Structures are given as structure tokens and as C-alpha cells.
Amino acid sequence: MDLENQKRVKEFAEKYGAENIVVILGAAEGEAAGLAAETVTNGDPTFAGPLTGVQLGLSVFHICEPEIKELVDESIYDEQVGMMEMVLDIDDIISEMTAIREEFCKYL
Amino acid sequence: MNSVILGSSYIMVYAPDMVIHNGSTQTTERTVNPNSEYLKEIKNNLRTFDQVVSYLPNQTYIGNITPDELGKYEMPWFDKPLEGATRDGKFGEIMPQDEFIVLMQICDVFDLVKLEKQFVSNTKAKLMKHPLFDDGLIGRIKDGEELDAIKKYVDTEHAEPIYNKGELIGCVKRAHDIDMNLSGHVMFENLVSKASNVLALLNLVSKNNINKEEIEYVIECSEEACGDINQRGGGNFAKACAEVAGFVNATGSDTRGFCAAPTHAIIEAAALVKAGVFKKVVVSAGGSTAKLGMNGKDHLKKGYPILEDTIGGFAVLIGENDGVNPEINLDLVGRHTVGTGSSPQAVITSLVSSLDKAGLKITDIDKYSVEMQNPEVTKPAGAGDVPLANYKMIGALAVKRGDIDRKELADFTEKHGMTGWAPTQGHIPSGVPYLGFCREDILSGKIKNAMIIGKGSLFLGRMTNLFDGVSFIIEANKGGQVETSAISEEEVKKLIANALKDFASNLLSE
Amino acid sequence: MSLLKDKKIIIIGDRDGIPGQAIEECVKTAGGDIVFSSTECFV
């Protein structure tokens, strides 16, 4: 994850409390989604950014996961994301995200 | 009357030491994690020049194999070298790093590039055999300095070091002691961009038999900025590059728009020619060292070599309608507007729906050239197969519009799409890599038209959160409509005189 | 609604996946206070 974005995530977690934050991702692939999710839960796996070794355990989802999709107005979701659902491997994204959440998320 | 594409060139520069010392992923790692495994490993995972030359996507970029041929090879490609591959391509060339470093000095007008004596003499001998380097260019090479002098510039004067084969062989001095915009680092990046652009211009002229004195305007569309403390992006790369390439009758300007810039620039060039302002306009760009090894960590993790080891460049010549070459149809320009929104479907709809103006279906366009990044580079990095994702979106839009049936979706990407081959150099892969093949495919009748789409991540500049994109269509020349304004009264008289002379000599021989 | 209700939302979109602004439009309809939205680019 971009270093500036990591810095912002860390600052917001300090400001609002990690339990009050939800991170929503838009990554193009399962693995990239998993890496971003790992970054905001268990720390930056690439050891490059401000979240290295910082285990925030934030609640994190991909926009295409059913937990988030069902909360969004259907027509808006369709307008903003609908067609990308045909392009992305949603099952792969869900399985990567679920695995990371189960292992590292502290606020489910 | 529509302007036409008269020719194009595509060049690459093999730059392994610049991956290590100038790629932003590596420089960042050196700052935050100087003892990392990645930094230790990277040296052992760089390719050789021969490996880079024989890499299938690179051979596609310089025009030696077609996108269709590339698509027939199963990935991974890095372990399938093309037999008999050469650095010389139909559209351009792949230049090794040492020659390029000297080209940087040839492009330096402020005495900033300092190179070690022996390195200069060895490399100059190589460049003297290069067909595109005439006496004028060779004459700009300086004799070189002692290594100690270079070390002093680097150690005490903030010069940006230049390495070759792991050795310090030169540097780019800062152009001002205080002004950050003229620092050694910035001057290095700008000289790389300039030199790779110049290489594209030299190839454009030579591969397409162009009279460089006829070029009236150059639009440069890279992603760098040159200027000083009072005008950071003042410009102008275009004219600076035209100067070195010997375009004595040209001026020019820079167009920016992240990766969408080349498409913007071609629309501008086509409009300038169509409006009769200039007869021949070149659109060109050099590449970026910051992006070298951008996804290197992911490549090593997956057991790939560092694949982002080349700087890219391209140039396209747009001219008045000659009745032969493919036309740029400016009536069907697509654009992402401020009000379009940033959902991927809104973006692609705004760019493709220009077809509506002519009542065309999505399937009426034979080929779409989107963001043609080499998927072998992007997939291990988690960005997916970018061209394929674009084709799926265009296909999905075609289903939504009723242009094709849902069952035909897989066929659509196959028939109207291509496998990506371009290096991940930002603006370089965006729409334009296909122009060379496109011109050939249209001239040979293989296809009748193509849509070129450029998209840009404007939000990276932190001035807007907006996305951007523009598109245009290239189509077969309608023929028989040679630009009359191009022929002067004098030329007409000459033509008539020649015809009469022929007629007279025919009469005599009879 | 519990998942996003009264939460501070951080959005990390992807240029080649779902961009930040598109996610914002979705999240706005689901409640939750968007405190940061960004889009990453790997190309």
C-alpha cells in the first residue's frame, strides 16, 4: 500500500480509535486486496511503510464483498461497480479477504 | 479533410543500473529499509541485454513480431526468448545502457553530464557504428573526466551518480545550488526523458524516410516537468528534443495528462494539421527512470526476474491527407468529462460512446487499443491483466447496448482486443503502442478501423480526485482526396510542364 | 446497518479495480462517515 495512504490510516486510527474505523478496498485482484487488508490489520507485509509492525486489526472489506454490497443502494452499486463485477474475480477476492479478516481483524 | 498517420517509432532503453539506483521502489526501500533482503536480491535478478532484446513483448514493442503473434505464446514469456532476435526493430530499437548514458550527454546543453574518460572512449566507439548517430551528434560527446572528479561532484556537490555494470562512471551535476527544481536528481530524470525522446525522434525519421526539415511542430507528452524555482513546469521538452534531432524548422510545446497525454496530444496534432495550421506535426515522448522496477518486489516474490528494466519512448508523425495513409477521424472523439464520474463503467462508456455520433456499434470498430501494458508485468503485482480488463468492460458495454449477445463476450475480447506488450512506463503503454501496427493493418486491409483510448490517473497529482480519458478513431483512407492545398501554383505549373515534356518526347519517339 | 453505521470509513480504491470515488458513491448510500478516500495505481 502507498506509504502516504498507510500514514493516513495510522493517523485516523489514532484519532478515532481503531474500533471505530472500517477500511473499504477496491483492489483489482484477490492477492492485492489481501495484501492491503493485511497492511491495515497485521502491518505492512512489505516492511516499507508506516504500518510496518503496527497491528491495527482494523475492520476491512472489499467493496464487492456481500457484507458491504448489501448495505449499498442497489441502483447506485449497479451504476458504480456493476460492470466491474463482470471483470473482477469476486470469489478470489472474497476468499483472500475472509482469510485475512479471520486471522488478523480485531473488531468483527 | 482528416489528417493522416504517416509513420511512427518505438524505442526502448535497457537500464539495469538505473533500476537499482533510480527506480522509486528501490530508492524508497533504500531510505526506509536500507538492509532489506530485496535490495540484496535485486542485483542477482536483473536480466542481461540479450535477455531483454529477445523478450517477446519487447520484440513486439519495436515491431519485429505482431501482437497477434505474441498472443500465441503462452505466458510466462521471460523464459521463452525469441530466437534470432536483434536490437534493431522495424519501428525502432532497443539501446543498451552505456550507449544511452552517452546519448544523455549528447542531449545535455548545460555541461551537467560528467562521464569517466575510459567509459566515454569505449562507448563513443560503439556509437560511431550506430547508423543514426551522425558526425553532428558524435561531435557533441565530450572527452570525459577522471573518476576522482566525478566522485567529488557526487560526494560534495549533490550530483546524481550514474552507474554502469555496478560501477560509478559518471554523474549529472545539479544545475543550481539552491533550486530543487534544478537538482541533480531532477536534471537526471529530465535528461533521461529528453534522451529517450530524442532516440524515438531519430528512429522516426530514419525508419519512415522522413525529411526532418518538413516537420513544423512537436508535441511532447511525457510525465516529467522541466523548469526552475519560478516556473517548475515551464517547459519545453518538445523544442529541446527537436533541437537535438535536427528539426530546424519546428517549434513545439508540451502536453500533460498523466497516461492519457499521448492520446490528447495526437488529437491536438491531428486538429492542427486538419485546420491547416501546420502540415506535419510530431507527437513524441521519452520515458521514466522512476518507474523502473516499480513492481520489482512482487516480481522477485513470484520467482520472476525484474521485468521493468527498460525505459520506453515513441514518436508519431501526423500529416496532411495523402489519400493513402490511415485517417484520424476527429468527428468521433470520445472524452471523459468533469461530470462523467469515476466509476469504471462511466469512464469506458464516455470514451466509447463517441460511436453514437456516427450511429456505429461497438462491433463496428475492428480493434480497440486501450492500455496495452504487458500483463506479465502487472499480473504478479496484483494489478491484473489491464488490457484484458478494459476489453471485458468494452464487451460488457456492448452487451448492455445490445450490440452483442452475452454469449459472444469471450469472442469479443479475442476478436477486438489484443494481448498487451508495452512496458509499464505510464504514458508509454496508453493507446499509442498500437499505432505502428495499426497503420500497417489498415494499409494492408487486415482491419478497416481502430479506436485508440488513453486513460490517465489525474488523482495522483493531488490537484483533483478525477480520472481522465480521451479516445479517437483511425480509419482507412477514403482515398482520392489528396490535400489540394499542399500543391502550390508553382508545383502545378511544374507538373503541367513535365506532362507536356513527356507528351512531346512521346510524339518525337513515335 | 451495523457494519458501517457510525463508523469512520477509509477508502483505498484502485485505478484498475474500483476507484476511490466510485466506492465513495456507494458508501454514501450505506451510512458511515467517509474520512479519507484515495486511489492507488500500479501501472
pLDDT digits (tens, 9 = 90+) for B457-498: 999 999 999 999 999 999 999 986 555 555 566 666 776 777
Span B7-23, pLDDT tens digits = 999 999 999 999 999 99
Distance, in Å, from the CA atom of B455 to the CA atom of B260, rounded to the nearest integer, reads 4
Residue A35 at interface with chain B, using a CB cutoff of 8 Å: yes
Closest CA to B419 of B367, B363, B491, B365: B367
pLDDT over 70, % of chain B:
95
Mean pLDDT value across chain A: 95
Q: How far does C28 lie from chain B, in Å, by closest CA?
A: 14
> In the prediction, which pLDDT does B121 show?
97
The answer to whether the CB atoms of A24 and C1 lie below 8 A apart is no
Interhelix angle A3-16/A30-41, nearest 10 degrees: 40
The answer to whether the CB atoms of A47 and B36 lie below 8 A apart is yes
> In the prediction, which pLDDT does B490 show?
67
Span B416-458, pLDDT tens digits = 999 999 999 999 999 999 999 999 999 999 999 999 999 999 9
pLDDT over 90, % of chain B:
92
Name which residue leads in pLDDT, B500 or B344. B344
- Average pLDDT (B319-335) is 97
Distance, in Å, from the CA atom of B143 to the CA atom of B119, rounded to the nearest integer, reads 10
Report whether pLDDT(C27) > 90: yes
Report whether pLDDT(B179) > 60: yes
> In the prediction, which pLDDT does B111 show?
97
> In the prediction, which pLDDT does B86 show?
98
Question: Which C-chain residues 2-31 have CB contacts (< 8 A) with chain B?
Answer: 14-22, 25
Look up residue B481 and give its three cell numbers. 482526396
A95 — phi, psi (to 5°)? -70, -40
Q: How far does A67 lie from chain C, in Å, by closest CA?
A: 8
Provide the terminal-to-terminal Cα distance of chain A, rounded to the nearest Å. Answer: 22
Distance, in Å, from the CA atom of B327 to the CA atom of B481, rounded to the nearest integer, reads 11
Residue of A84, A90, A96, A97 to mutate, interface with B, max B Cβ within 10 Å:
A84
Which residues 6+ apart lie within 8 Å of B13 measured at CB? B94, B95, B96, B97, B100, B196, B199, B287, B310, B311, B312, B313
Question: Which residue's C-alpha cell is 484502485?
Answer: C14
Interhelix angle B184-207/B237-245, nearest 10 degrees: 50
3-state secondary structure (DSSP) of residue B239:
helix
Annotated domain spans of chain B: 327-485
Span A75-95, pLDDT tens digits = 999 999 998 998 899 999 999
Look up residue A52 and give its three cell numbers. 510496518
Distance, in Å, from the CA atom of C6 to the CA atom of B64, rounded to the nearest integer, reads 59
- Average pLDDT (B364-380) is 97
Report whether pLDDT(B28) > 70: yes
Residue burial B462-484, b: 16+ Cβ < 10 Å; e: rest: eeebbbbbbbbbbbbbeeeeebe
- Average pLDDT (B264-289) is 98
Question: What is the signed CA dihedral for B413, B418, B423, B428, rounded to 10 degrees?
Answer: -90
Closest CA to C14 of B424, B390, A37, A27: A27
Q: How confident is the model at residue B261 (pLDDT cuts 50, 70, 90)?
A: very high
Indicate the helix (H) or strand (E) that contains B395: helix B386-401
Closest CA to B7 of B242, B316, B278: B316
Name which residue leads in pLDDT, B73 or B502. B73
Q: How confident is the model at residue A61 (pLDDT cuts 50, 70, 90)?
A: very high
Mean pLDDT value across chain C: 92
Neighboring chain C residues of A61 at a CB cutoff of 8 Å: 3
> In the prediction, which pLDDT does B146 show?
98
Name which residue leads in pLDDT, B190 or B482. B190
Question: Which residue's C-alpha cell is 526468448?
Answer: B81
Can you say how many angstroms the Cα of residue B220 is from the centroid of all Cα atoms in its chain? 10
The answer to whether the CB atoms of A22 and C35 lie below 8 A apart is no
Q: DSSP letter string over B323-334?
A: SSSPEEEEEEEE
Chain B residue nearest residue C40, CA to CA: B460
Q: DSSP letter string over B412-430?
A: HHHHH-----B-S-TTTTB
Which residues 6+ apart lie within 8 Å of B289 measured at CB? B15, B18, B22, B23, B188, B189, B192, B311
Q: Residue B281's beta-bridge partner residues? A: B217, B318
The answer to whether the CB atoms of B343 and A31 lie below 8 A apart is no
Report whether pLDDT(B506) > 90: no
Distance, in Å, from the CA atom of B80 to the CA atom of B341, rounded to the nearest integer, reads 42
Mean pLDDT value across chain B: 95
Report whether pLDDT(B510) > 70: no
Report whether pLDDT(B180) > 60: yes
> In the prediction, which pLDDT does B482 show?
59
CATH-assigned architecture of domain B327-485: 3-Layer(aba) Sandwich (3.40)
Look up residue B105 and give its three cell numbers. 550527454
Look up residue C17 and give its three cell numbers. 479495480
- Interface pTM (ipTM) of the complex? 0.94
Handedness of CA B365, B367, B372, B377 (dihedral sign): positive
What HEC string does B99-145 produce? HHHHHHHHCCCCCCEEEEHHHHHHHHHHHHCCCCCCHHHHCCCCCCE
> In the prediction, which pLDDT does C2 show?
72
What HEC string does A2-50 produce? CHHHHHHHHHHHHHHCHHHEEEEECCCCHHHHHHHHHHHHCCCCCCCCC
Residue A81 at interface with chain B, using a CB cutoff of 8 Å: yes
Span A94-108, pLDDT tens digits = 999 999 999 999 998
List the single range of B190-194, B483-487, C8-12, C37-41 with lowest mean pLDDT.
B483-487
> In the prediction, which pLDDT does B39 show?
96
- Average pLDDT (B226-234) is 97
